[in-house]
Structure 1
Amino acid sequence: MSDLPIRKVLFISADQWRAECLSAVGHPVVKTPHLDALASEGVLFRRHYAQASPCGPSRTSMLTGMYLMNHRSGRNGTPLDSRHTNIALEVRKAGYDPTLFGYTDTTPDPRRYAPDDPVLKTYEGVLPGMTVGLQLPDHMAPWIADLKAKGYEFRDRWDVYKPRAGFVRPPGRGHSFAPTLFSAEDSETTFMANAVLRWLSVRSDQPWFVHAVFLRPHPPVIAPEPYNALYDPAQLAMAVRASDAEEEGKQHPFLKLALASLREKGAFDEHYPDDLLEIGEPEVRQLRATYYGMMTQVDDQIGRIMAHLKATGEDRHTLVIFTCDHAEMLGDHWMWGKSGYFDQAYHIPLIIRDPRRVADGTRGQQIDRFTEAVDLMPTILEWLGRDIPHQCDGRSLIPMLEGEPVAPWREEAHYEFDFQDIVHQIPESTLGISSDQCKLAVLRGRRFKYVHFAALPPLLFDLEKDPFEQKNLAGDPAYAGEMLACAQKMLSWRMEHAEHVLSRQFVTERGMAETPPRRR
């Protein structure tokens, strides 16, 4: 690291961004010029996967380097055990003050608080070790206050994302074409970027660590002008799905239940007025077009932040990472949101720009190996010259950034989904299983994808023949051998990665012996 006298980290995360939605990877519609530029200066990882869904569990995996089966914070609201370290606590050991703009959706360990402490009444807490530069949880109070100070009139947070009053939709446009009541300059996306830029403006000559989390393109699916009209729904590819939701749900009991939950208005988008399983093709296309518009707005704000780094020369010292927590179904399989087992909810973008001279040879490369969200914490720590804790299940991507041969490397991606409902018990009562059985795990290889449920039938897809996972082969005798091989691989994966914070230590007459942490 000798060529970097000052080292800085800009760790950007969006929310609910599909991996293919970058023009750098050939998306036929979405334009992301600033992220494309970042990819041309760094490395883009084409097979990058989240480890869990929804926001809280996925971010926990990303920020602790641990698989869901180990950190066990499986739902928004499931506490994170305080014995686990995380990226913020580790970079503090290197003298950094990790600063958060946005949110991490971390539920604290309740054993450390009195029962009536307010932190135990929301799942939107801050990751231990993070200093808050700007917290924007769901209530978004700082942004809401800014809007009201500027003269916007609305009652509360639940009105701010309503479509602009009096707006008349032109023919051929769906409900989500209507713009927000606020301008793009006053949006939460710009508000967030402004806060980051203000903070950076007085720290150009010192090391820093910033975790900037953009809400968009997370619902509500509504965008300010001109982003609401940026993409023509008629020019977009339609969602890939069965003839109707009932037919789609025949694939698996869990999928049938997940689809039924979308009939509740507001379950996906708080102001969308219609049953998402009944809307026609024009409305589906419009939702997709607006989603893409929100992405381009985030791209524009990332462009502003990168322009600042270039203007100050800090880009020469800054490791820049762009990724997100999980992806978005976007109507595929009749699903919206990020629940379930389909790739569309877990395949996410990852771009890393390493400013060191040793990374010059990989600039502009797109890597096709399987990488996972748990790899980011080891990558950042190695880049900063720090030890990687035993708890980390991921591996550093530094060798790939440096163009070194990396073998052996994982041949599959792994992700999990915890769908228990402790409060209402809907999956439990509907499917006839216990809360502890409301679990699924996925082994996603290049050709075969295996989905294992704790107490429901498994799924198997041949992705070469069926890239959109429409035909379940689990009951086909011709694939029995592949089913067994996948199940054995998954068992081996779980055995190898079962929580090992202390299992790599051993007491001897001379004291404690320890296996060195795996860096790569």
Structure 2
Amino acid sequence: MAHAPKNVLFIMCDQLRFDYLGCAGHARLETPNIDALAARGVRFDRAYVQSPVCGPSRMSYYTGRYMRSHGANWNNFPLRVGEPTLGDHLKKLGVRTVLVGKTHMTADDEGMARLGMDRDSVIGVQTAECGFEPYERDDGLHPSRPGAKRPAYDRYLEQQGFEAPNPWEDLANSGADADGEKQNGWLLAHADKPALIPDEHSETPYMTRRAMDFIREAKDDGRPWCLHLSYIKPHWPYIAPAPYHAMYSESDVQPAIRSDGERQNPHPVYGAFMDMRVSRNFSREDIRHRVIPTYMGLIKQIDDQLGHLFRFLDEEGLTDKTMIVFTSDHGDYLGDHWLGEKDLFHEVSVKVPMIVVDPSPEADATRGTVSSALVEGIDLAPTFIEYFGGTVPRHIIEGRSLAPLLRGAPALDGRKFVVSEYDYSMLDVRRTLGRKADECRLFMIFDGRFKYIHAPGFRPMLFDLSTDPNEYRDLGDDPDFEAERTRLKEWLLGWALTDHSRITMPDARIEGYGPGPQLKNGFVIGYWDEDEVAKARKDYGLD
């Protein structure tokens, strides 16, 4: 690889499970382009997100900080003004940080107004868009209310002749029955129907082309870039264009990962989540058989589009200059553990696919390998900073660079555990459990074997993945595992008490503070007389 690294292509899918890839061992789903990417880099098979829901997970990816640090606890919780983002860190290094697709970022409009920031100014856009230059932002939920700002994809569909009050919902994410009558793609019953637009005009190919448009334009700019290509799929609505809607069938659906024992006297929080409508529906086999083939088709479409994108990078001479990352913001239960959506901490929800291709020659020895190191979503921000030649600000960034693992080192600074958090105050589960809004936090700590879940107001949950890899048996009240629960709770407490708010004072500045600098600046607190001051000045080399 003769060329120096220059760019980062940061690809994220929405709601893609770690085990729905060919290279991860799925029995029926073939993903040759993603598999080829893994053959060129490192696939991390124990990568965990910092929250199992879109908004807080993404804010952790984009800040390199845990949810308890950035405070955007759920979807549409604003990321506060002043929270440093990946874009802020990379801008200092002369890197353009650009978005094509989804962020789920909600701007802190009140904070911006308080500071007198013009949202249309350069700094206002950067603050409102999570540090990204929004080349094409589309969170995948297109508003219908009068006066709402419509994403560019709606205009694109209209220009192609697909006109409707809300073309994203009415056409791109709806199907039709045998009589040609429109069927709403939000409803699980219609997941087997093809979308009312052809493949080439659906969301995934459209976003892929927009990424290519940016890359072409960026060649004339000359600056290095970090392009976040954030696909909206395979997130619901579960509906795919032809031919992807019919590529897979009921026979391709893998057996659900669940046991009857999980429903026998479950933990109160787990039981409340099992009682949600989406969980009750996905617990039905007929619904799983209707939805999962389409989910697989949406993944296959992403893989096909990545094939086009990777060939484009080859043609543009950028492959050997670009770090490529492929990951997801969280998984999808799809009926596993009697749950739908992604709201708890089982592996299918909180563990994500993560593939990193470092084009640097130093990474040649690890190409095509699988790393079982414990890694977190927040590790990507420091990885990118280091890749572009920067120094990771440890008082701000809580993740750890993956560079050592990409280049053959054995571990990430002795990491003992990963952490994920969830705030369920926005769900009906809060009312079911009779909790107040500030009493709905969950914390997961996982040491590679034991997964401990702290649920304030309730007993903990505990799973031993070495003897129970499917997480069927909750050991949270088993007396034989009291020592493990105590150990992990102490680790979690230590993590919670770690300083995470001192983002305005770098470590180096603190470490440089002491009696010598104090004396140099004229502070003689505690000295007895002039002779003692003179001796101290001499000892500190100030004279």
TM-score range, shorter chain: 0.7 to 0.9
1:452 matched residue in structure 2: 454
Which structure: greater helix fraction? 2
2:527 matched residue in structure 1: none
Query: What SS does structure 2 have at the residue aligned with 1:215?
Result: strand
Match of 1:258 among 261, 273, 285: 273
Query: What SS does structure 1 have at the residue aligned with 2:50?
Result: coil
The offset of 1:407, in angstroms, is 6.0
Match of 1:373 among 374, 377, 381: 377
The 3 A distance-change label for structure 1 pair 467 and 406 is closer
Larger-gyration structure (1/2): 2
Which moved further from structure 2: 444-453 or 202-211? 202-211
The 3 A distance-change label for structure 1 pair 408 and 380 is closer
Match of 1:145 among 155, 163, 168: 155
Alpha-carbon distance between aligned partners in 2 of 1:126 and 1:229, rounded to the nearest angstrom: 40
Deviations 1:354-383 (A, max 9, x none): 111111111101101111001000000001
Which moved further from structure 2: 462-471 or 160-169? 160-169
Query: What SS does structure 2 have at the residue aligned with 1:216?
Result: strand
CA contact (8 A) 2:252 2:293 kept: no
The 3 A distance-change label for structure 1 pair 278 and 343 is closer
TM-score by length of 2: 0.84
Within the alignment, does 1:209 sit opposite 2:226 as a pair? yes
Query: What SS does structure 2 have at the residue aligned with 1:381?
Result: helix
The 3 A distance-change label for structure 1 pair 510 and 129 is farther
2:98 matched residue in structure 1: 99
Amino acid at match of 1:34: N
The offset of 1:468, in angstroms, is 2.1
1:111 matched residue in structure 2: 111
Amino acid at match of 1:212: L
The 3 A distance-change label for structure 1 pair 407 and 278 is closer
Deviations 1:120-144 (A, max 9, x none): xxxxx95333111111122163222
Match of 1:356 among 349, 354, 360: 360
The 3 A distance-change label for structure 1 pair 296 and 475 is same
CA contact (8 A) 2:98 2:227 kept: yes
1:397 matched residue in structure 2: 402
Alpha-carbon distance between aligned partners in 1 of 2:11 and 2:31, rounded to the nearest angstrom: 15
The offset of 1:243, in angstroms, is 4.1
Alpha-carbon distance between aligned partners in 2 of 1:32 and 1:192, rounded to the nearest angstrom: 19
Within the alignment, does 1:158 sit opposite 2:173 as a pair? no
Q: What is the aligned-residue RMSD (CA, Å)?
A: 2.7
User: Aligned runs of 1:311-460 on 2, under 5 Å?
Assistant: 311-389=315-393, 390-406=395-411, 408-421=413-426, 426-460=428-462
Alpha-carbon distance between aligned partners in 1 of 2:20 and 2:193, rounded to the nearest angstrom: 22
Within the alignment, does 1:222 sit opposite 2:239 as a pair? yes
Alpha-carbon distance between aligned partners in 2 of 1:168 and 1:295, rounded to the nearest angstrom: 26
Amino acid at match of 1:229: A
The 3 A distance-change label for structure 1 pair 510 and 325 is farther
User: Aligned runs of 1:31-70 on 2, under 5 Å?
Assistant: 31-70=30-69
Alpha-carbon distance between aligned partners in 1 of 2:293 and 2:340, rounded to the nearest angstrom: 14
Alpha-carbon distance between aligned partners in 1 of 2:128 and 2:2, rounded to the nearest angstrom: 34
The 3 A distance-change label for structure 1 pair 344 and 87 is same
CA contact (8 A) 1:249 1:259 kept: no
CA contact (8 A) 2:396 2:502 kept: yes
The 3 A distance-change label for structure 1 pair 448 and 144 is same
1:240 matched residue in structure 2: 257
Amino acid at match of 1:111: G
Alpha-carbon distance between aligned partners in 2 of 1:331 and 1:447, rounded to the nearest angstrom: 24
Amino acid at match of 1:146: Y
The offset of 1:311, in angstroms, is 1.0
Alpha-carbon distance between aligned partners in 2 of 1:118 and 1:386, rounded to the nearest angstrom: 30
Deviations 1:252-280 (A, max 9, x none): 222232233325xxxx9xxxxxx71573x
Within the alignment, does 1:180 sit opposite 2:195 as a pair? yes
Query: What SS does structure 2 have at the residue aligned with 1:234?
Result: helix
2:205 matched residue in structure 1: 190
CA contact (8 A) 1:70 1:499 kept: yes
The aligned length equals 487
Alpha-carbon distance between aligned partners in 2 of 1:178 and 1:366, rounded to the nearest angstrom: 37
Alpha-carbon distance between aligned partners in 1 of 2:463 and 2:49, rounded to the nearest angstrom: 19
Query: What SS does structure 1 have at the residue aligned with 2:176?
Result: coil
CA contact (8 A) 1:249 1:255 kept: no
The offset of 1:55, in angstroms, is 1.1
Which moved further from structure 2: 457-466 or 368-377? 457-466
CA contact (8 A) 1:167 1:178 kept: no
Alpha-carbon distance between aligned partners in 1 of 2:70 and 2:98, rounded to the nearest angstrom: 23
Alpha-carbon distance between aligned partners in 2 of 1:296 and 1:348, rounded to the nearest angstrom: 17
Alpha-carbon distance between aligned partners in 2 of 1:328 and 1:141, rounded to the nearest angstrom: 26
The offset of 1:118, in angstroms, is 12
The 3 A distance-change label for structure 1 pair 405 and 447 is closer
Within the alignment, does 1:8 sit opposite 2:7 as a pair? yes
CA contact (8 A) 1:249 1:256 kept: no
The offset of 1:472, in angstroms, is 1.3
The offset of 1:249, in angstroms, is 7.6
Within the alignment, does 1:295 sit opposite 2:299 as a pair? yes
2:533 matched residue in structure 1: none
Amino acid at match of 2:87: A
Alpha-carbon distance between aligned partners in 1 of 2:292 and 2:446, rounded to the nearest angstrom: 26
2:248 matched residue in structure 1: 231
Alpha-carbon distance between aligned partners in 1 of 2:129 and 2:159, rounded to the nearest angstrom: 30
Amino acid at match of 1:15: D
Deviations 1:146-180 (A, max 9, x none): 222222243314323122343799xxx97421111
CA contact (8 A) 1:73 1:80 kept: yes
